[in-house]
Structure 1
Amino acid sequence: MSSPDHIAALTKVVLNNLVYQHDWTGVQTHTEGNVPRPLIYGLPPKRLYVHPDEQIDIIKAEKERGEPIPQEPEVEWVLPLHLSEKWSPAQFAAVFDAIDALPPGAADQTALDADGTDAQWKLWRGPKRGKRVLLATVQDDSTVTYYWIFDGLVKPRQN
């Protein structure tokens, strides 16, 4: 088990990396509730993830409208870990059990379409999105590598 000082230092490395290397805004540390260790959340400068089914719905909606649909960034969860840590599926499950799909302060982007109906492509945003965490793996030289992890199965994206 990592010491509290080690976890705090690890969290600070990732927080600084997000703010100063990747231009995230509103970055905060989250220790409330029953999270097994501190998490980070914040707003990236651009949208980082589009669910494969949402991608299909966006393409259909863009064809119907004849114009691109803006892809606003979403507030994301980040879990800092050191490369040497060995995490089990049960530990990741505990993280997902302790969080909501949206971090604190995330805007609900499930507004109605121009004609007053729910736009199909918006059903993947806001609290309806699946739980996901950006895993920030820190190496000994402070290099941070990011990977998506999801609560459950997610089909692969189409390229």
Structure 2
Amino acid sequence: MSSDSSLSEQVKTNLSHYNLWTDVQEHPIKDLSLKILSGIPPSKLDSNDIENQREWIIPKPMSHKANLTLKEINSWFVSISDLVESNNSRPKRVTIGLVNDDGTVVYYFIHDGVVKPRQN
């Protein structure tokens, strides 16, 4: 099993069994040598989200030596818009799933563009 397969399986298992997401799927992206995951969380991740909205997750190792570039992040949004055949539009955000050496997975939103901060 390649490290990318192992990484995506770890995040997929975490989403399905720990976070109780449904319909978690892997989408191999040949141009990026990357697997993008998608699934439906049990509840909205943000108050502005639509209920039962498909979310997109990018598995990455936390120990990854290279920094993320805007070009790489943009390629994720382009690849996802190519996967969504119905309207071919970019998602407003993706979630990066950072996997630590001990198996811990931490999730962060990465928005497509500038997002106005919300008040708590």
Q: What TM bracket, shorter-length normalisation?
A: 0.7 to 0.9
Cα-to-partner distance string for 1:52-109 (whole Å, 9 max, x where unaligned): xx8xxxxxxxxxxxxxxxx6231100000001112222111111122129x7599xxx
CA distance 1:42–1:131, shift in 2 (3 Å): same
Partner of 2:57: 78
Cα offset, 1:151, TM superposition: 1.4
Distance 1:137 1:5 in 2: 17
1:3-152 → structure 2 map (5 Å cutoff): 5-32=2-29, 34-51=31-48, 72-85=51-64, 86=66, 87-100=68-81, 104=84, 130-152=91-113
Report the TM-score, using the length of structure 2 for normalisation: 0.83
The aligned amino acid for 2:58 is L
Q: Name the Cα RMSD after superposition.
A: 2.8
Distance 2:119 2:69 in 1: 29
* Percentage of identical aligned residues: 34
Distance 1:138 1:19 in 2: 15
Distance 2:79 2:59 in 1: 15
Partner of 1:109: none
Conservation of the 8 A alpha-carbon contact between 2:29 and 2:36: no
Distance 1:156 1:25 in 2: 29
Distance 1:77 1:48 in 2: 12
Conservation of the 8 A alpha-carbon contact between 1:132 and 1:150: yes
SS in 2 for 1:13: helix
The aligned amino acid for 1:81 is K
Distance 1:94 1:32 in 2: 10
Report the TM-score, using the length of structure 1 for normalisation: 0.64
Distance 1:31 1:132 in 2: 19
CA distance 1:15–1:147, shift in 2 (3 Å): same
Cα offset, 1:127, TM superposition: 7.8
Structure 1 unaligned spans of 5+:
55-70, 107-125
Query: Which of the two has higher C-alpha Rg?
Result: 1
